[in-house]
Structure formats: C-alpha cells, structure tokens
Amino acid sequence: MGGGAPPMAPQAAPRYHPWDDAALVATLFAVDPSGVGGVCLRALPGPVRDQWLADTRELLPHDMHRRKIPLHVTDGRLLGGLDLTATLRAGRPVAEHGLLAEAHGGVVELAMAERVRGSPVSYLCAALDTGEVVLERDGIALRSPARLGVIALDEGSNEDEQVADALLDRLAFLVDLSPIGVRDMGDLPYSAADIGAARDRLPAVTISEAQVSAICETALALGIYSLRAALHAVHAARIAAALDGDPEVTDGQVNLAARLVMAPRATQMPYVPPEREPEPPPPEPPPPDQDQGESDQNQEERKDPLADQVLEAAKAAIPQDLLDRLRLGQLRRAKVRSTGKSGQVQQANMRGRPAGVRRGDLRPGDRLNLIETLRAAAPWQRVRRAERERGQAVATPVKRKGRKAAAPAMPRVEVRKDDFRIQKYKHRSETTAIFVVDASGSSALHRLGEAKGAVELLLADCYVRRDRVALVAFRGKEAELLLPPTRSLVRTKRCLADLPGGGGTPLASGIETGLALADAVKRRGGTPLLVILTDGRANVARNGQGGRPQATEEALTCSRLVRASGVAAMVVDTSNHPHPQAKALAEAMDATYMPLPHADAGRLNAAVKAKAGI
C-alpha cells in the first residue's frame, strides 16, 4: 500500500490509545460513509472534536456533498417540499430538494444530536435504511436518492442526554472523545490517496462464513441483540481489509472491527464459568473403540477458537468499570419513563421550543405560522384567481354618472381559513425529587446519617438545576411531610439537620404520603421522582398498629399503587446487607433497586444520580 502506512489490523491486537481508535474510525468511515451508516461523536465543542472533524473532511473526496443539519430543522428543509417563491411566481407547485437529497453520495453533520427527537430522526433513519427520500406533501410526490453517511455530534454532558436509540442503531461507530486531551492527538494512519485506493478495492473483498459467525457470537456474548451491529462489524472488517490491500478479511481485521463497533455497545460482560476444583482421576475405563474416539475428537473440534479470539479483542476495549456501570444503571436505555433534570415533554401553545405546525382555526392564545400558511395557500393561487375573475365577470358593474365602476383590486396572495397553520410548541416540565426517608430505629441505628448526607448532596445538585425537592420522613406510627416542594437549599438543610430518628417503621404510610405528593406534582404539570431510602423492614401498619405481616403486605400494596400511577421511583436499600424485603418492594413498584451495604454519602449520591438520571 502506498504511503508506507502501518497495517490496519495486526494479528495480535494491542491496546490502542483512544485517539488511535478515533483516527481509525475516521479512516474506516471515509472509505464508505453510506456503507457504515455513520459515526456518533460524543464530545463537547473544542479543539479535539474540531481536529477529528477536520481530519475526516481531509480524507473525504473534495467534491463530496456535505451538509449540516441544525437542531430545529423543519420537515420541509430536511425532506424538501414546495418552493414558496417559485410557486408564487409561477402560480403552480414547484418542488425543491431538501438537505437529505442534496447530500446524496456525501455526508451530513447532525448538530446537537442528543436533543434531536421525533420526525427528523425518523426521516434520517428512513434515508439510511432505503437510500432515498420519499416526499409526499403540499401536492407533491417525489422520490430522490439519498445515500449518505451521518456524523452525529453528541454534546451531552451526562448519561441522561443520549442520541435517539433508533439513530444509534444505524451508525456503525460510537466514539467518545471526552477522555482525549489536546496533547494526546496524533497524525492520521492513512492518507487520502490510501482511502481512494481502498474505496476501489472494497467491492472485491470477501469474508468467510466462520468469521461472520464469530462476529455474531461475540455480539450475543456482549448483550448486543441488534443485527445491525453485526452487519456493521462485517462491513468494517471488509473496509479494513481493503485498506490493507487484502482480497480476503483476516482474523486480525475481524478483531479490529469487533473492538471498534461492538465494544462501545456492550451491555454485559461475557459469562465466565467458575473454575472447578480438580476432581480425583476416575478409574481407567476400557479402551474405547475407534468410532467413539473419532466422536470425541469431533466434539473438541466443534469449539471455535476464532470466536473466543474475537471476543477477547472486544473485551480488551470494554471499560473496566462496565460491571459497576451496569450495577448503577448508567447504560443507555435503562429507564423508559422520563425522569431527571429534563422532565417530561409537554405540549404548549405559546411557550417552549417549536414542535411543528398543525392545521386548524386560529383561537385566542394560538400563534399563526405565517410561512407555513403561505406555503399551504401557494399551490391554489391560480385556481382561486380564476374563481375570483369568473365571479367578477358575472357581477353587473354599477354605473355612476356615466362612468363604469372600477373592479376591486385582486389580492396578490389569497389566504383562506383552511390554509391556517398554527405553531406548536413543547417544553420540559419541572422535576420534583421527592425523598422519602426511613427515620425509624432500624434505619437510624445504621444508615440515617449517611442517608442525610446523600440527600443533602442531591439537594445541592437539584438547586443548581433549579429543580424542586421535597422531603417526607416516616417513623413511629405515621409519615410526615417535613418539606413541601421547594428550591430553598438553606431551608432544606435546616430540615434535614432537625430530622430525628427512632421508633417503628410505618413504611406503607411513607410510600402513601410520597405518592400523594407525586400525584399533586403531576396535576400541576410537573414531573415527580420518588427516591425511597429504607431497609424495607416494615413493622407498623397504616392504622398505627404494630404487626410485621400486616405492615409488610400494606407496604407492598402501596408499592403496586406506585407502579399503577406511572411515577418513576427508586428504592435505596440502606441496610448493612442487601435485604430481600427492600428488593421485593422495588419489584412491586417497578422501581430501580440499589443495595448499598458499604457506601458513604458520596457514593450514595452518585448511585442515586446515575439510576435516576438527575
């Protein structure tokens, strides 16, 4: 290969520096952007991200189409539609291409991809799947080719801000530039000439069935159940072979593809069977016949060493704290219901971000979208003008003093009621974190101090985000709302400091009080989040009478009410050792369960934020 570049995928895959992996991803993407779907680049704006983008543009052909998709792109600009100026001038519908059709054969950059939701994601995924854009709106039916690659710029600062799963599934590479500093950056391993030569060789590169099977087995072992990930890895291996000038994919290139494509998507560590103690040798069996020996030999040969090799290569690139992140629930798609600092998306008439338009009457409080209204009226101008002219010809003109009455002036654009397009908005509701703290004797003896410290840290975080917090404590015979929803950090700290401990555990009353407060928050348009800190050992019923069986059953009943209400919840087991009653409580309310047998306030704070996404 020209340029004296190092081999793309050596047989013994070493540990690469993060920038080396990012540079390899840029190289593979530049060879076939539409074939790999694209890259999700997680990084804040800065010199590292700018350098990666500049290197990628340098590797792409200079005549390749490049378009940028802004955050609030409209459907008409993305897909195309009616050219308003040309339509008004011609008096007939005139179509124009959108960003996706304009980028055919090239690359689009999706800005602030973690905030893009709804129709832009759907249209982009459809273009990646079919390679074309179907436009059927404003009286226009048009199909345009749109084979393109996507660079999704993910600027999310925490795990709660993630690119849409549907889009991530269609992008081959997930690259995180956050741990890379300016001094860590290096040169590209290949030149633009090498990329062009690899692009010509790619169609002739083949991969064996055994290598494809090894990639699929690796995906299953890492908990990746989407077939697109395996397909992306196969195509990445073929691109790596084309860069190395190989007509067939080697095992080292398969290892590289698994490391770059699958390791960032892993949701579990591969199962490793426990080591068994050596057993005493059994008595010597009679000599087996020849057929039995051949059967045993075939049994050993069925083990696929290539699959183990590919899996080890992918495991080498998985973060060492993957098990901790799984335990803390920091992986994507761990929570379906909306929680945390963003709150739930709600529709509004006059506030929030634009969220499309709707057809309807203009009512008080609505805002007319003038551009979309003109766009709806433009195709009908010739018909309406003809109707108006026929109506004026039928009408008899009125003469005054021998003069013919002047015809009324024709409007340049005639807008009717059916053309009205009302602007829709959406906004994020305010989040209220409701802390339900077990202040009974069993909890106060061991973990109440740590629970207070963790709640205080979480309250400080909520104060920074301007979210509301509330505090419910239960001890003795009943639960008490110590702090209504507030943003006052000083008042909250004073309330926590005065929180006493001791007495029975009226767990059902605590859950019931927290749920009632959550319902009140929902009625006001907010997003409630229940964080219950308890050891789960209920011994006081709602009527104030003692009795562990009745108290436990009532606590489970209240937990099922939490599940039925749809309120997001989390149960933090504050006992010294994980208690089955606390886990059963979390399962009954469909909440996240967090056992922390040896945690201080800082770790408890981090665990609650990771689970709840706040």
Q: What pLDDT, on a 0 to 100 scale, did the predictor assign at position 315?
A: 63
Distance CA 48, CA 377 (A): 48
Task: Give the mean pLDDT of the chain.
Answer: 77
Q: What is the DSSP letter of 146?
A: -
Distance CA 471, CA 614 (A): 16
- Rounded average pLDDT over 130-144: 82
Q: What pLDDT, on a 0 to 100 scale, did the predictor assign at position 343?
A: 47
Is the pLDDT at 580 greater than 70? The verdict is: yes
Q: What pLDDT, on a 0 to 100 scale, did the predictor assign at position 337?
A: 38
Q: Coil, strand, or helix at residue 2?
A: helix
Is the pLDDT at 469 greater than 70? The verdict is: yes
Q: What pLDDT, on a 0 to 100 scale, did the predictor assign at position 11?
A: 43
Pairing verdict, β 345-348 and 421-428: antiparallel
Residue 572: phi and psi, rounded to 5, are -105, 115
- Rounded average pLDDT over 181-187: 85
Q: What pLDDT, on a 0 to 100 scale, did the predictor assign at position 201?
A: 93
- Rounded average pLDDT over 59-71: 90
- Rounded average pLDDT over 131-136: 87
Is the pLDDT at 3 greater than 60? The verdict is: no
More confident residue, 10 or 42: 42
* Category of 413 on φ-ψ map: left (φ > 0), alpha (ψ -120 to 50) or beta: beta
Q: What pLDDT, on a 0 to 100 scale, did the predictor assign at position 404?
A: 53
CA distances to 1, 126, 187, 192, 345 from 5, in Å: 7, 37, 11, 12, 50
Q: Which tokens belong to 86? A: 């040309």
The model's pTM: 0.56
Band (327; pLDDT cuts 50, 70, 90): very low
Which residues make beta-bridge pairs with 39? 151, 173
Q: What pLDDT, on a 0 to 100 scale, did the predictor assign at position 241?
A: 94
- What proportion of the chain, given as a percentage, has pLDDT over 70? 72
539: number of Cβ within 10 Å: 18
Band (39; pLDDT cuts 50, 70, 90): very high
What 3 state SS string does 255-269 have?
HHHHHHHHHHHCCCC
More confident residue, 471 or 88: 471
More confident residue, 440 or 14: 440
- Rounded average pLDDT over 53-66: 91
Q: What is the DSSP letter of 591?
A: -
Is the pLDDT at 231 greater than 90? The verdict is: yes
Name residues whose C-beta falls within 8 Å of residue 323's C-beta, 6 or more positions apart in sequence.
269
Distance CA 470, CA 518 (A): 10
User: Mind giving me the DSSP string for 443-475?
Assistant: HHTTTHHHHHHHHHHHHHHHHHTT-EEEEEEEE
Long-range contacts: 325-331, Cβ < 8 Å, 24+? 325/610, 326/267, 326/268, 326/269, 328/594, 328/606, 328/607, 328/610, 328/611, 329/592, 329/610, 329/611, 330/159, 330/610, 331/267
Quick: pLDDT tens for 265-300.
888 766 555 555 455 555 555 555 444 444 444 444
Q: Which tokens belong to 235? A: 């195509």
Q: What pLDDT, on a 0 to 100 scale, did the predictor assign at position 549?
A: 87
- Rounded average pLDDT over 531-559: 86
CB 426 within 8 A of CB 352: yes
Distance CA 43, CA 30 (A): 20
Name residues whose C-beta falls within 8 Å of residue 132's C-beta, 6 or more positions apart in sequence.
143, 144, 145, 146
Distance CA 518, CA 434 (A): 7
Give whichever of 180-194, 292-306, 419-433 has the largest mean pLDDT. 180-194
Helices 227-244 and 18-31: crossing angle, nearest 10°? Answer: 90
Quick: pLDDT tens for 349-380.
555 566 677 777 766 667 788 788 888 888 88
From 244, 354, 252, 292, select the one nearest 11 (Cα to Cα): 252
On the 0-12 / 13-18 / 19+ scale of CB atoms within 10 A, 9 is buried
Q: Which tokens belong to 511? A: 């859950």
What 3 state SS string does 309-330 have?
HHHHHHHHCCCCCHHHHHHHCC
More confident residue, 552 or 18: 552
Distance CA 443, CA 455 (A): 15
From 120, 3, 144, 168, select the one nearest 65 (Cα to Cα): 144
